[in-house]
Amino acid sequence: MTPLNPSFAEDVARSFTQQPIMNLIGARLSLVEPGVVEITLPYRADLTQQHGYLHAGIITTVADSACGYAAFTLMPAGSNVLSVEFKVNLLRPAQGKEFVARAEVIKPGRTLSVVRADVFTIRDDERELVATMQGTMICVGKKE
Amino acid sequence: MTPLNPSFAEDVARSFTQQPIMNLIGARLSLVEPGVVEITLPYRADLTQQHGYLHAGIITTVADSACGYAAFTLMPAGSNVLSVEFKVNLLRPAQGKEFVARAEVIKPGRTLSVVRADVFTIRDDERELVATMQGTMICVGKKE
Amino acid sequence: MTPLNPSFAEDVARSFTQQPIMNLIGARLSLVEPGVVEITLPYRADLTQQHGYLHAGIITTVADSACGYAAFTLMPAGSNVLSVEFKVNLLRPAQGKEFVARAEVIKPGRTLSVVRADVFTIRDDERELVATMQGTMICVGKKE
Amino acid sequence: MTPLNPSFAEDVARSFTQQPIMNLIGARLSLVEPGVVEITLPYRADLTQQHGYLHAGIITTVADSACGYAAFTLMPAGSNVLSVEFKVNLLRPAQGKEFVARAEVIKPGRTLSVVRADVFTIRDDERELVATMQGTMICVGKKE
């Protein structure tokens, strides 16, 4: 998948710093390639639900941003991306020191792009899948 | 829908205070009835994405907790609830001073319950739908 | 919800007759109103899975067509509708003499519309919910 | 993924012949391995929607059966499998002479299994992805 926007990586990085929620939860952008984005989130006790696992909504937060930016890497310069919908299956309790959401574009499109994200926990140097997302992102024109 | 657990309301309230993420984002439990739970979230700039709208993952966080607790109100005393999966459609930009996630159980079950949540923004005293979730919650036995 | 296309009902009816699959499975259009469409499907043994219940894919077939046409009733004359995605929860075994898929538009849009469909079985004159769909439909221009 | 049921392949094949809907639409089982099942469906004009593409519900029918049987290959002998929910993204118009739904178990479980299915069309000897499903299957005890 060839990017239409030569400065896609810088544009993703700039947009990411403009998502205050990423700062609040302590997430960082860890990989940006054409059609693929990873976001890394260290475990923090204040991000959890009643059993001490990462809350499903926080898993979704990093997976959704990873999906949006993965789609964005293949959009023309000056585009904006919004989430249309997503579906998440929670596979295992989200325990571990660090989580990585890896999103890959399955089908890019001029208007709609379909993206998948897997969320892994890193335990003993092994990636273990804790959740998977399948979603639709939309390309909208420049916002003034 | 008649609750099997006579102290369902206290149990939801206690569990809610044990979700650190709810405290981090400033969400509060605003309604607990058999099969129905509402969570209210005031707007905060640090919960937003790059356009200043509430991040879809934060909408999902309150919708998912509301769904889980709505299912939990109909479970036997001593149960635990976990999210199996959910699907969210984002309908409008999440702008406004306050958001309410209202979850209702569509189909309670001994093991699996299907729940729907609508997330509204309050604008000029009117509820406007910004997102809707359809999900599956599972009842698991007592955790020690 | 006011229809933009004054002949929406005739257009739905004509398009429905052009869906050969509806004829194969024996489905008929039973209600067409602005934003709401119902399709009725009598039980037939050749539509079932290994336990004699209606196959989930056939439930989906009538729910999806009902959703598409519900969205279509609110689109401009000359539009075409396609399914972008849908999610189905199966709530009970699909047993009964007749099934009704009732779709309602939750959020109409110029490009994307979000639609919900409930599929009921008719047992002893009572409607019992067997499945529910939440999906996205897209309006595309005239096809030659 | 090691099968618990040594006769999983025969059991899938027998159950498949007991799904009358597979016979009605002309689908056949084309691959059965531990955690992986493929179902092949030749194009037929009576399976289409108003534009001559395979109806999304029929794509779902083969994808759902493939997912159910993929989960079933990893269940104990004597189990039954039912669909809990699934989500389908339609990626391209379903045109072509033949379609293959390939399902793979992402996360097997004692009760719930999460399965993904890709539906391809075969055009000029190339597989082109037309739809993708992410769903949950449940293992239920022996039905008498």
Contact B29, B13 (CB under 8 A): yes
**Roughly what angle, to the nearest 10 degrees, separates helices D8-17 and D56-72?**
150
CB contact under 8 A, A87 and C84: no
Residues in CB range of D133: below 8 A, 6 or more apart: D60, D63, D64, D67, D86, D87, D88, D103, D115, D116, D117, D118, D119
Contact B21, A94 (CB under 8 A): no
Residues in CB range of C96: below 8 A, 6 or more apart: C43, C121, C122, C123, C128, C130
Q: In Å, how far are C10, C106, C138 from B130, measured between CA atoms?
A: 32, 11, 19
CB contact under 8 A, A21 and B56: no
DSSP string of B70-126? HHHTTSPTT-EEEEEEEEEEE-S---SSEEEEEEEEEE--SSEEEEEEEEEEEETTE
Which residue among B46, B62, B89 sits closest to A24, beta carbon to beta carbon? B46
pLDDT in tens, B88-118: 999 999 999 999 999 999 999 999 999 999 9
pLDDT in tens, D11-66: 999 999 999 999 999 999 999 999 999 999 999 999 999 999 999 999 999 999 99
Which residue among B107, B129, B134 sits closest to C129, beta carbon to beta carbon? B107
For residue D66, the 8-state DSSP code is: H
Cβ-based neighbour number of residue A97 at 10 Å = 9
For C7-11, the CB contacts below 8 A with 24+ separation are: C7/C77, C8/C32, C8/C34, C8/C72, C8/C73, C8/C74, C9/C73, C11/C72, C11/C77
Which residue among A111, A136, A138 sits closest to C85, beta carbon to beta carbon? A136
CB contact under 8 A, A106 and D87: no
Which residue among D18, D51, D93 sits closest to C50, beta carbon to beta carbon? D18
Which residues of chain A neighbour C138 with C-beta distances below 8 Å? 112
Q: In Å, how far are A1, A138, A139 from A108, measured between CA atoms?
A: 9, 10, 10
pLDDT in tens, A62-76: 999 999 999 999 999
> What does the angle CA B39 – CA B40 – CA B41 come to, to the nearest 5 degrees?
125
Residue D142: predicted pLDDT: 59
pLDDT lower than 50: segments of chain A: 143-144
* Rounded Cα–Cα distance for residues D81 and D17 (Å): 15
Length of chain A (residues):
144
pLDDT of C60 above 70: yes
For residue A54, the 8-state DSSP code is: B
pLDDT of C34 above 50: yes
Average pLDDT rounded to a whole number, residues C42-62: 97
Query: What are the φ and ψ backbone dihedral angles of C69, each rounded to 5 degrees?
Result: -70, -35
pLDDT in tens, D108-135: 999 999 999 999 998 878 899 999 999 9
In a 10 Å sphere around its CB, with 0-12 CB exposed, 13-18 middle and 19+ buried, how is residue C97 labelled?
A: exposed
CB contact under 8 A, B89 and C132: no
Residue whose C-alpha is closest to residue D122's, from D91, D97, D93, D87:
D97
For residue C53, the 8-state DSSP code is: S
Average pLDDT rounded to a whole number, residues C27-47: 98
Residue B65: predicted pLDDT: 98
Average pLDDT rounded to a whole number, residues D79-87: 97
Search chain A and give the residue with CA nearest D109: A91
Average pLDDT rounded to a whole number, residues C105-113: 97
Contacting partners of chain B (3+ CB pairs under 8 A): A, C, D
Contact C2, C34 (CB under 8 A): yes
Contacting partners of chain D (3+ CB pairs under 8 A): A, B, C
**Beta strand spans in A72-125 (E):** 80-90, 98-107, 112-123
H/E element holding B24?
helix B20-25
Q: What is the dihedral of CA B92, B22, B124, A85, to 10 degrees?
A: 10
Question: B112-123 and C36-42: which strand pairing?
Answer: unpaired
* Rounded Cα–Cα distance for residues C68 and C113 (Å): 9
What separation, in Å, do the N-terminal and C-terminal C-alpha atoms of chain A show?
28
* Rounded Cα–Cα distance for residues B99 and A6 (Å): 38
Residue A144: predicted pLDDT: 39
Which residues of chain D neighbour C84 with C-beta distances below 8 Å? 89-90
Structure tokens at C48: 């079932």
Query: What are the φ and ψ backbone dihedral angles of C134, each rounded to 5 degrees?
Result: -125, 120
Q: Kindly report the pTM of this predicted structure.
A: 0.96
Which residues of chain B neighbour D85 with C-beta distances below 8 Å? 85, 136
pLDDT of B142 above 70: no
pLDDT in tens, B41-87: 999 999 999 999 999 999 999 999 999 999 999 999 999 999 999 99
Residue D144: predicted pLDDT: 39
Q: Tell me the three state secondary structure of residue D79.
A: coil
The CA R_g of chain A, rounded to the nearest whole Å, is 15
pLDDT of D1 above 50: yes
Model confidence band, residue B123 (pLDDT cutoffs 50, 70, 90):
confident
Which residues of chain B neighbour C92 with C-beta distances below 8 Å? 107
Average pLDDT rounded to a whole number, residues C47-51: 94
Which residue among A51, A90, A143 sits closest to B84, beta carbon to beta carbon? A90
Search chain B and give the residue with CA nearest C134: B134
Residue B144: predicted pLDDT: 39
CB contact under 8 A, D107 and A87: no
CB contact under 8 A, D107 and A114: no
pLDDT of C144 above 60: no
* Rounded Cα–Cα distance for residues A52 and A13 (Å): 31
Alpha helices in C46-127 (DSSP H): 56-72
